[in-house]
Amino acid sequence: MSKLIGLKDLVQDAIDKGATSVEQVQLEIARKPLEIIEQIEPLKPLATSIREIHKASIGSVYDTIRAINKQVGEMAGEYLKMAGGKKKE
């Protein structure tokens, strides 16, 4: 049973770290074009607003993924503990 719990923890950790990595990549991809647009003075306020909205929305999506991953991991852990406590007849 401890191997299954270890596997659950490994998968949960991989999902969490993977989500964080993809979030960082997505933010970095958007950074450069927005920096260029911000150099055009009439577009600077709009680009700054877009940057903040984009950062908040991306952050929210990946925070949700990590939160769901945590909840599913906790549920899986509880199910594994319950299954480990049952004796075969």
Let me know if residue 23 belongs to a domain: yes
Could you write out the DSSP letters of every residue in 8-61?
A: HHHHHHHHHHHHHHHHHHHHHHHHHHHHHHHTSGGGHHHHHHHHHHHHHHHHHH
d(CA 60, CA 62): 6
What total number of domains does the chain contain? 1
Range of the domain at 31: 2-80
Let me know if residue 71 belongs to a domain: yes
What's residue 84's pLDDT?
82
Let me know if residue 88 belongs to a domain: no
Q: What is the pTM of this model?
A: 0.81
Let me know if residue 87 belongs to a domain: no
Kind and range of the H or E run holding 3: helix 2-38
Let me know if residue 85 belongs to a domain: no
Let me know if residue 46 belongs to a domain: yes
Nearest-5° Cα angle at 46, 28 to 32: 20
Q: Please name the residues in contact with 77: beta carbons below 8 A apart, sequence gap of 6 or more.
A: 5, 8
d(CA 46, CA 31): 14
Please give the average pLDDT of every successive group of 10 residues along the chain, which has 89 residues. 89 97 96 95 96 97 98 94 70
Let me know if residue 86 belongs to a domain: no
d(CA 12, CA 6): 10
